[in-house]
Structure 1
Amino acid sequence: MGSINFDDIHQRRDAARALIIEKRRRLRPLIPLARAALSTSRLLGFEQQLFQNRFQPVVQRFADRVEHSFDDYTPTASDALVCSCFKSGTHWMMQIAHQIAHRGRGEYDNIYDVIPWNEGPNPKLCMPLTDPRPLQLSPIDLRIIKTHAASWHVPYNEAAEYICVIRDPIDVFVSSYHFIASAMFGELRPASKPGSTCICQTRPSGDPGQNLPPATGPGATGLTCASSPTSRYSRTNRPPSMIWPVSWVAI
């Protein structure tokens, strides 16, 4: 990487990780109590409501970040945006696109050192949109941007590239359930009931995806079929630069 480094991002990320580890250490003695509370709620039939009440604010905070993730920024000819729904092969496509932008020689300690993700859980731990370092490293003057934002929150510029990745919604919901359960809950994961209605984003009236069905099923928190990047077709006169089913990426 030459003289360009990402030590500032590494330091922020290490500090955040240390805080998380310390928080987990302090909360570990409360795990038996939490298990008892969840078991009781499951027996009494209000487990789903308990989790919805707990995580609806989390989903809302994510929706708020998404709404403002591209404030005061318009993609340029040097930007290629990987646009996808959560758990749809985003990281595969990010790494493929990054290597293309670096002619197969892209290097990084963490993918978020070189790829901005403004609506992430903690944007301060990722590369900012305005940081020039990814472009300085690219031999073809191209940097990759990640977004899970619904199409109506992603600014469109004909000069930029938009790579849209799609996946069967059923696979997205199941993958989301297992990912969130493993990463956030461990043994405290909620019971899953096929077809259960989950928290969804509200779709703006008049959006091209408004007639698509709502997201339902395990793990669908915060997701809607209307956020699919395919809705970009009806939002512009120019289709996305590429639309990739995730099954193609896996080949």
Structure 2
Amino acid sequence: MKKEKFTYNYLIKIIKKAKNKKYKFISLKDYNKYKNKKKFLLRLDLDFYPKSLSGILEIAKKFKIPLTIYIRVAGPYNIFWYENYTIIKNAIDQGHTIGLHSNFIERAKLIKKSITKCIDDEITVLKKLFGNIITLAPHRDINYIENSLPWIEKNWSKIKKKHNFKFHAYEKKFFLNFEYINEGLNPHLCWRNITPETAMKKNKNIYMLIHPHWWFNKNPYEHY
């Protein structure tokens, strides 16, 4: 199979193939529904450039795909800026699930605040802007040694109750019955473990994570 560029046309190709193979696209919050169908979870981590979300929102609208989108508060973009705010609000208005994407352990060390205080501050801002937030996904930015997932797993019951979360993106339930697929730099942009095409050949449930700033229409620099 030829190596595909991470274009919108390639994403459409994946979606069409999944639909032809009778996959049911669902949000992470609905992972336990449709027990007799093959399921396809599509998650987006909005690490950079909120405008890069627009093209994928158009695709999701056209093919009726529910997305779970994780947004950064303490990151390289300003969610108060009207263009960024409007894009995220459009996603919510289309029915997609919005969650917090945070590197709270790194941030806590850098600004000398507690981890829980960092989470509290970020989720408060996100809720004030966009309403109820039911999920979070840890993010690693600078120091890959500081993996926040073990802390979340250890403290999840407390954090979940405090903020009325329903799930986090790395709960084991999403990996026990789903084939996890994600793109990343290794050292160039590629599928890290398995391609969507290979997973679909196995007829497995799929949990696919993508990062909008790496996907493009005509050239990979159009979001920058």
Instruction: Please confirm whether the aligned pair reaches a TM-score higher than 0.5, indicating the same fold.
Output: no
Q: Which of the two has higher C-alpha Rg?
A: 1
Structure-2-length-normalised TM-score: 0.29
TM-score (norm 1): 0.27
